[in-house]
Amino acid sequence: MPRYALLVNSEKCVGCFACLVACQQQNQLPPEQALIRFEDREKGKFPNVSYRIIPLQCQHCSDAPCVPVCPTSASHKDNTGVTLIDDEKCMGCRRCMAVCPYNARVYRPEEGIVAACNLCLSLVAAGQEPACVATCLTKARLFGDLDNPQGDFARLLAKAAPLRPDFGTKPTVLYI
């Protein structure tokens, strides 16, 4: 069974929002809701300043704090390591949102449920890439199997690290 991961190369991300729009379309979200958000990061002192745009979404943590707090088991891990929300079980209590250190879940008031990135598992099952990966203009996003890395994913995996290892959640969305 694969263990899916997403690599985000923040050196290549230009903040074009193509991944966000593709995600909204794939998940049939209204324009005001998104499962991906962006943070601007500056580092250094003038005149030696670097600037990066960091796309954030569900980090699909191996030790996901959202899973044990869910009273209905709607938040759960599947056998590929992806953190999912079962819409049929979600009662919209938002406990998972409160404990997510990445602020990666959104409340969908029209449905009364919480939503988060699911790595487009329906597309992956059909042999395609997640929508955000397929649409990335600069190839800043790569998707692969941690147990069977291949190509660019394998080469870059050694350089990748969690965004916030201090959170202790062991995410499978990794950044360069």
pLDDT tens by residue, 65-121: 999 999 999 999 999 999 999 999 999 999 999 999 999 999 999 999 999 999 999
| CA pair distance 176, 174, nearest whole angstrom | 7
Tokens 């995600």 belong to: 23
Evaluate whether 173 touches 8 at the Cβ level (below 8 Å): yes
Higher pLDDT, 51 or 35: 35
pLDDT in tens, 10-49: 999 999 999 999 999 999 999 999 999 999 988 889 899 8
Q: Which of 85, 10, 12 is nearest to 40 (CA)?
A: 10
Q: Where do runs of H (alpha helix) occur along 16-120?
A: 18-26, 66-69, 95-99
| CA pair distance 72, 156, nearest whole angstrom | 38
- The residue-averaged pLDDT of 143-171 equals 92
Q: Is the pLDDT of residue 1 over 90?
A: no
pLDDT of residue 72: 98
Q: Which of 150, 165, 168, 107 is nearest to 5 (CA)?
A: 150
- The residue-averaged pLDDT of 133-149 equals 94
Q: Count up the domains in the chain and report the number.
A: 1
Higher pLDDT, 56 or 153: 56
Residue 148 DSSP one-character state: S
**Residue 10 sits in a domain of what CATH number?**
3.30.70.20
- The residue-averaged pLDDT of 41-68 equals 93
pTM of this structure: 0.91
pLDDT of residue 116: 97
Evaluate whether 18 touches 140 at the Cβ level (below 8 Å): no
| CA pair distance 104, 59, nearest whole angstrom | 8
pLDDT of residue 51: 87
Reading the block at residue 127, the tokens are 């042999």
In which domain, by residue range, is 136 found? 4-175
- The residue-averaged pLDDT of 149-164 equals 89
Q: Is the pLDDT of residue 153 over 90?
A: no
pLDDT of residue 148: 86
Q: Is the pLDDT of residue 50 over 90?
A: no
